[in-house]
């Protein structure tokens, strides 16, 4: 892989963490945390300042320079001319400090200036905004050599196209890419040993702002999102606390806020009052073409497909069994116990399957067993009848709710796949036919029972839905608007519910767990992990 010209701002990342550099340059990652957003705000304020030009003193701002010799390019914050000297000044967030990465960045800028002006530059400065102080950077021979070596190393990382190992130390804790990189989790999955700590809160925690109050209006104010209704503020949240926004029904949003969200790579999803997904406003198509290439290659690898399919089916059947076991702790029903034993036997056979067809058989048998007794998990006095799964069209209320819930889950999985950079339509277990989000259907197998089936059971057992919310027509069962809304609410509650991660031991909501599974899938496809472990609830 090659890149037109290496951005100067990224060169110093190689010294900080080569993996960070890879994400930013090769994968074009633009994840944000509060450090990044604060830096950006400071930059916006600086952009308001004017150039200075008076007798014997000149400051020029935001000057773009590039170099064919070093193959680097960048926009210099400030070029200062004083006492016959000219030098770059780089602005940094935070307090005054000695930092070799900053020195290398200033040196890169000086190399650009030297080539452009054809004259020697002997120094530069770094201005630290928090301390409002500048530090001189002497462009010694040693610093020049380190800078050239770093540029060379950056080029090698790009040429190689392989993701460098995580640094896995204190640097990771302030890193805006930690939610993508998952250094401790990846190490733990590969080597075991020390359990990962829950990542320090960052912007990318999968935090979703849902707004479904009819007539609500979202606008931006001083880096915050204000949600108002009839001039009354109903939510006031920092932009940094949000990872995506879902607007349901007749909710309005201001143009300036939309622009700010796009600038900060925060997608906005639109759904109807009944949960029907309309689409999303996303900053850009995911730029990780190398990942999509790896995915396309993996689809042609029959062995890998079977291995992944086994993980999906094992995840699906195991989580169905766990759901039954959980309910049966109180119910103590023999039929349920019998089915959990049957499911266990089928799960044991999954690993020995020689083909996707054989696996489909096991999955079918297990699902039939599970759905044959799902009605036993409903409260005794419920008004609903269920004798097994049917669809296209669903013929009874519970099947209508299950179908609707699975479609909501599918959209959420598609969303996570797109965010991570995978193609939702290229799957491994489900066949790839036109218009079918096969990979989303693969990943959602592990989550169907524990998110959707659980939400449907809750909606019925707590009286959120009743028979009046359904109507039968031509052998097809349809949900009323009120029923859809109630189920959407139950689904939303469930997907936002926190659960202790079965492997890592820290708490995350189901939505974020879906994202983790998708990220681990990406790591398997790029060969960073050699096994995809299904999400198995306990
Ligand atoms: S989380 Fe750590 S290893 Fe990953 S990119 Fe950031 S600093 Fe590097």
Atom of ligand 1 at shortest distance to CA of 181? 4
Give the pLDDT confidence score for residue 419 in this predicted structure: 82
Q: pLDDT: is 207 or 312 the higher one? A: 312
Which of 14, 168, 188 is the pocket-test mutation for ligand 1 (most atoms within 8 Å of CB)?
168
Q: Is 203 a residue whose pLDDT tops 50?
A: no
DSSP character at residue 132: T
Q: Kindly list the protein residues whose Cβ atom lies closer than 6 A to any atom of ligand 1.
A: 17, 19-20, 23, 166-167, 171-172, 175, 177-178, 181, 183
CA–CA gap between residue 65 and residue 112 (Å, rounded):
6
DSSP secondary structure string for all residues of 59-126 = EEEEEEEEETTTTEEEEEEEEEEETTEEEEEEEESSS----HHHHHHHHHHHHHHHHHHTS---EEEE
Residue 196 CA to ligand 1 center (angstroms) comes to 14
Residue 132 CA to ligand 1 center (angstroms) comes to 28
Residue 37 CA to ligand 1 center (angstroms) comes to 18
pLDDT tens track for 409-425: 998 898 889 888 899 99
Which of 30, 181, 185, 200 is the pocket-test mutation for ligand 1 (most atoms within 8 Å of CB)?
181
| Residue of minimum CA distance from atom 5 in ligand 1 | 20
Atom of ligand 1 at shortest distance to CA of 167? 3
CA–CA gap between residue 463 and residue 495 (Å, rounded):
19
Q: What are phi and psi of 252, to 5 degrees?
A: -110, 155
| Superfamily designation of domain 289-525 | CRISPR-associated endonuclease Cas1, C-terminal domain (1.20.120.920)
Q: Is 113 a residue whose pLDDT tops 90?
A: yes
| Residue of minimum CA distance from atom 4 in ligand 1 | 181
273: number of Cβ within 10 Å = 15
Give the pLDDT confidence score for residue 491 in this predicted structure: 93
Taking CA atoms, 443 is separated from 353, 438, 440, in Å, by 19, 9, 5
Give the pLDDT confidence score for residue 209 in this predicted structure: 83
Residue 174 CA to ligand 1 center (angstroms) comes to 9
Atom of ligand 1 at shortest distance to CA of 166? 3
| Residue of minimum CA distance from atom 7 in ligand 1 | 172
Give the pLDDT confidence score for residue 201 in this predicted structure: 47
- Judge whether 447 and 416 are in contact, CB under 8 Å: no
Q: Is 107 a residue whose pLDDT tops 80?
A: yes
Which of 171, 202, 523 is the pocket-test mutation for ligand 1 (most atoms within 8 Å of CB)?
171
Atom of ligand 1 at shortest distance to CA of 23? 5
Residue 8 CA to ligand 1 center (angstroms) comes to 19
Which of 22, 167, 185, 186 is the pocket-test mutation for ligand 1 (most atoms within 8 Å of CB)?
167
Residue 279 CA to ligand 1 center (angstroms) comes to 32
Sequence spans of domains, the chain = 6-164, 208-281, 289-525
CA–CA gap between residue 199 and residue 418 (Å, rounded):
22
| CA of residue 292 relative to chain centroid, distance | 16
34 pLDDT tier (thresholds 50, 70, 90): low
Q: pLDDT: is 529 or 436 the higher one? A: 529
Residue 287 CA to ligand 1 center (angstroms) comes to 19
Give the pLDDT confidence score for residue 521 in this predicted structure: 96
232: number of Cβ within 10 Å = 7
Which of 24, 166, 198 is the pocket-test mutation for ligand 1 (most atoms within 8 Å of CB)?
166
Radius of gyration of the chain (CA): 27
pLDDT tens track for 450-502: 999 999 999 999 999 998 999 888 878 888 888 888 998 899 899 989 999 99
Residue 144 CA to ligand 1 center (angstroms) comes to 26
Residue 39 CA to ligand 1 center (angstroms) comes to 19
Length of the chain (residues): 538
CA–CA gap between residue 513 and residue 107 (Å, rounded):
43
- Judge whether 3 and 158 are in contact, CB under 8 Å: yes
Residue 293 CA to ligand 1 center (angstroms) comes to 23
33 pLDDT tier (thresholds 50, 70, 90): low
428 pLDDT tier (thresholds 50, 70, 90): very high
| Residue of minimum CA distance from atom 3 in ligand 1 | 166
Residue 18 CA to ligand 1 center (angstroms) comes to 8
Architecture of domain 6-164: Alpha-Beta Complex (3.90)
Torsion over CA: 89, 47, 13, 114 (sign): negative
What is the spatial order of strands in the sheet that 268-271 belongs to?
208-211, 244-248, 268-271, 277-281
Residue 254 CA to ligand 1 center (angstroms) comes to 35
Give the pLDDT confidence score for residue 212 in this predicted structure: 80
pLDDT mean across residues, the chain: 88
48 pLDDT tier (thresholds 50, 70, 90): low
Residue 167 CA to ligand 1 center (angstroms) comes to 6
pLDDT tens track for 173-195: 878 888 888 888 888 888 887 78
State the Cα torsion 286-288-289-293 to the nearest 10°.
-110
Q: Is 202 a residue whose pLDDT tops 50?
A: no
Atom of ligand 1 at shortest distance to CA of 165? 3
Structure tokens at 27: 């994968």
pLDDT tens track for 266-317: 888 887 765 566 777 877 666 677 889 999 999 999 999 999 999 999 999 9
| Residue of minimum CA distance from atom 2 in ligand 1 | 172
What is the spatial order of strands in the sheet that 217-221 belongs to?
232-238, 224-229, 217-221, 252-253
CATH class of 208-281: alpha beta
121 pLDDT tier (thresholds 50, 70, 90): very high
Q: Is 383 a residue whose pLDDT tops 90?
A: no
Atom of ligand 1 at shortest distance to CA of 169? 2
CA–CA gap between residue 521 and residue 533 (Å, rounded):
9
Q: At what angle do helices 454-461 and 397-420 cross, to 10 degrees?
A: 140
Q: Is 196 a residue whose pLDDT tops 90?
A: no
Taking CA atoms, 90 is separated from 62, 78, 104, 122, 398, in Å, by 10, 7, 11, 15, 62
Residue 420 CA to ligand 1 center (angstroms) comes to 17
Share of the chain above pLDDT 90, in %: 51
Give the pLDDT confidence score for residue 41 in this predicted structure: 64
Q: Is 429 a residue whose pLDDT tops 90?
A: yes
């Amino acid at each position: 892989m090659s890149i037109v010209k290496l951005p100067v701002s990224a060169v110093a990342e190689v010294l900080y963490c080569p993996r960070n550099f890879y994400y930013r340059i090769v994968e074009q990652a633009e994840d944000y945390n509060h450090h990044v957003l604060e830096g950006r705000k400071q930059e916006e304020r600086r952009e308001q300042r004017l150039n200075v030009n008076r007798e014997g003193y000149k400051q020029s701002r935001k000057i773009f320079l590039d170099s064919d010799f070093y193959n680097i390019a960048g926009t210099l914050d400030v070029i200062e001319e004083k006492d016959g000297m000219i030098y770059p000044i780089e602005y940094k967030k935070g307090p005054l400090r000695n930092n070799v990465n900053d020195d290398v960045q200033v040196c890169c800028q000086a190399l650009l200036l030297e080539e452009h002006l054809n004259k020697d530059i002997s120094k530069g400065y770094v201005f630290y905004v928090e301390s409002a102080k500048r530090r001189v950077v002497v462009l010694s021979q040693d610093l020049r050599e380190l800078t050239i070596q770093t540029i060379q190393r950056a080029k090698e990382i790009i040429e190689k196209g392989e993701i460098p190992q995580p640094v896995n130390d204190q640097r990771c804790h302030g890193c805006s890419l930690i939610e993508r990189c998952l250094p401790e989790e990846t190490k733990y999955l590969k080597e075991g040993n020390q359990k990962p700590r829950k990542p320090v809160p960052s912007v990318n925690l999968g935090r979703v702002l849902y707004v479904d109050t009819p007539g609500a209006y979202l606008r931006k104010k001083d880096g915050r999102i204000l949600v108002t209704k009839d001039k009354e503020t109903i939510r006031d949240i920092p932009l940094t606390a949000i990872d995506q926004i879902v607007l349901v029904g007749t909710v309005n949003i201001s143009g300036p806020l939309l622009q700010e969200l796009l600038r900060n790579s925060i997608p906005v999803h639109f759904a109807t009052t009944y949960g029907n997904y309309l689409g999303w406003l996303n900053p850009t198509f995911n730029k990780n073409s190398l990942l999509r290439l790896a995915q396309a290659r993996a689809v042609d690898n029959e062995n890998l497909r079977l291995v992944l399919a086994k993980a999906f089916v094992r995840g699906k059947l195991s989580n169905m069994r766990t759901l039954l076991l959980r309910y049966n702790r109180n119910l103590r029903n023999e039929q349920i116990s019998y089915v959990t034993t049957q499911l266990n036997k089928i799960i044991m056979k999954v690993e020995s399957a020689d083909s996707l067809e054989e696996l489909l058989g096991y999955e079918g048998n297990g699902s039939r067993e599970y759905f044959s007794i799902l009605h036993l998990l409903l409260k005794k006095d419920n008004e609903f009848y269920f004798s097994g799964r049917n669809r296209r069209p669903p013929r009874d209320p519970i099947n209508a709710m299950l179908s609707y819930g699975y479609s909501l889950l599918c959209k959420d999985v598609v969303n996570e796949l797109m965010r991570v950079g995978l193609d939702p339509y290229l799957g491994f277990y489900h066949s790839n036919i036109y218009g079918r989000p096969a990979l989303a259907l693969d990943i959602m197998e592990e989550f169907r029972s524990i998110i959707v089936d659980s939400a449907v059971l809750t909606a019925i057992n707590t009286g959120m839905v009743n028979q009046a919310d359904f109507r039968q027509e031509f052998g097809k069962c349809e949900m009323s608007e009120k029923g859809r809304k109630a189920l959407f609410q139950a689904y939303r509650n469930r997907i936002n519910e926190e659960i202790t991660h079965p492997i890592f031991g820290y708490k995350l909501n189901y939505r974020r767990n879906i994202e983790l599974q998708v990220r681990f899938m990406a790591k398997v496809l790029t060969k960073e992990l050699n096994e995809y472990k299904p999400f198995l609830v306990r």
